[in-house]
Every structure is written in structure tokens, then in C-alpha cells.
Amino acid sequence: MTLWLGIALVALISIGFKAAGPVLLGDRPLPPRLTGVIALLAPALLAGLVLTDLTGPAWSAVDWTLCAGLAAVAVTCLLRVPMLAAILCGVAVTAVLRFLV
């Protein structure tokens, strides 16, 4: 019962945060500086997710095959390869290295 109470509480808080923006701003547009910050949130969150997945819990399990795959994606992106092909290249590099080890 305590778990469901916690889930309901987190859901209500989430809904409250989401409703606070329209309630406080109304029909006014966001300031340009705030729009810039919001635009930079997605890449920052994605970088954090990739880093925590790459390094493991408490930075204790760095997977060098994932590092090589991520490096392959970075290199192919620098060579202006389409994103899907770059991701597939990184997946292939990671899979081959894991197969060989």
C-alpha cells in the first residue's frame, strides 16, 4: 500500500509542476533566455544518460567496447555520414569487439 501511495504522490507532484507553467505564464511568450536554456536541456540530458550508461554504477564498470562504439559514432558524424548510418556503425563496432573478446 505504501508503494502505491508513493506512486500517486509522485504523479500528483508531476502534474502540479506541469500545470504550474501555463498557470503562471498564461498567454505570455517565454523570454528568449529561457527558450535558449530549454533548447539546451535535451542535449545535456542525453549526454548525462550516455555517460551514466557508459561508466556504470558509481563509475565502476567502464565498458571499453561501448567506448569504442561511441568513438566510431563520433568519427562517422565528423565525416558527415547520415545519423542512422553512424549509429549502425557504432553498433557494429561494439558487436564485433564483444564477439572477439
Q: How confident is the model at residue 94, as a pLDDT?
A: 95
Per-residue pLDDT for 85 more than 90? yes
Q: How confident is the model at residue 61, as a pLDDT?
A: 80
CA distance 96 to 88: 12
pLDDT bin (cut points 50, 70, 90) of residue 24 is confident
Per-residue pLDDT for 91 more than 90? yes
- pTM of the entire predicted model: 0.57
Per-residue pLDDT for 56 more than 80? no
The mean pLDDT of 64-79, rounded to a whole number, is 93
pLDDT bin (cut points 50, 70, 90) of residue 26 is confident
Orientation angle between helical segments 64-78 and 83-100, nearest 10 degrees: 150
Q: How confident is the model at residue 1, as a pLDDT?
A: 66
Cα 34 to Cα 11, 31, 37, 63, 65, distances in angstroms: 25, 5, 5, 37, 38
Q: What is the number of helices (H) and of strands (E) in the chain? A: 4, 0
